[in-house]
Amino acid sequence: MEALKSVLVPIHREGHPFIMIFAVVSLGLGAMWEPLGWLGAIATCWCVYFFRDPDRIVPDKEGLVVSPGDGVVQMIEKAPPPPELDMGDEPLTRISIFLNVFNVHVNRVPIAGKITKLYYHAGKFFNASLDKASVDNERQVAVVTTKDKKDVIFVQIAGLIARRIVCDLKENQSVATGERFGLIRFGSRADVYLPKGVSPSVVVGQIAVGGETVLADLKSKSAAAKGNKI
């Protein structure tokens, strides 16, 4: 039974229409020429895989900032907060996580608190791995304020082939660490801006797991993880 559960991963509701479209098109292609049908079946299986929504074991220690998505920690650098938030231009530590088309794309809230700001920016669709994607690309910005009055900014950024950002959050909503809040289709990036004085617990090149990998500890005074140059 446990082995079966590991295979039959839940599918996010946003994926159901796409899976149906892929399946119908595959049947049509198969009716035209069988090899095309098999290619369509492979594409349908990939679509199911893309929209998988596995459960995660979220660390319950207070003050931990977890990764909002699965992917590679691509950049850790100092950058001013997104300008639309009007939170000044003092640089904060920004952790950028790149999600490729094979990663889980369901996004999770990085830390418990209250959503105090939301802003959607209709931008361009550069490759999400580029530094300018944080400024130029379509994005959904959110700020969660912890009970200790610390602001953690997290951003969903559309990529080269991503064409829709889904965010179910609302202002003044109370959220839990690791709570699901949306996704991005297909291939994207997630940025997290840490409060001033907080050091990252991850390094560039590290594989992050959404809702599980600890990006930082707001209550720790430790230096940045070895290997970071910020």
Is 6 a residue of the active site?
no
The CA distance from 167 to 181, in Å, is 6
Residues 6+ apart with CB under 8 A from 191: 94, 95, 96, 97, 134, 153, 154, 155, 157
| Distances from the Cα of 219 to the Cα of 81, 124, 153, 216, angstroms | 21, 37, 17, 9
**Region for 153 from its dihedrals, namely left if φ exceeds 0, alpha if ψ lies in -120 to 50, beta otherwise:** beta
Active-site residue identified among 188, 199, 201, 220: 188
Quick check: 206 and 76 in contact, CB under 8 A? no
The CA distance from 47 to 43, in Å, is 6
Cα-only R_g, the chain: 19
Residues identified as active-site: 188
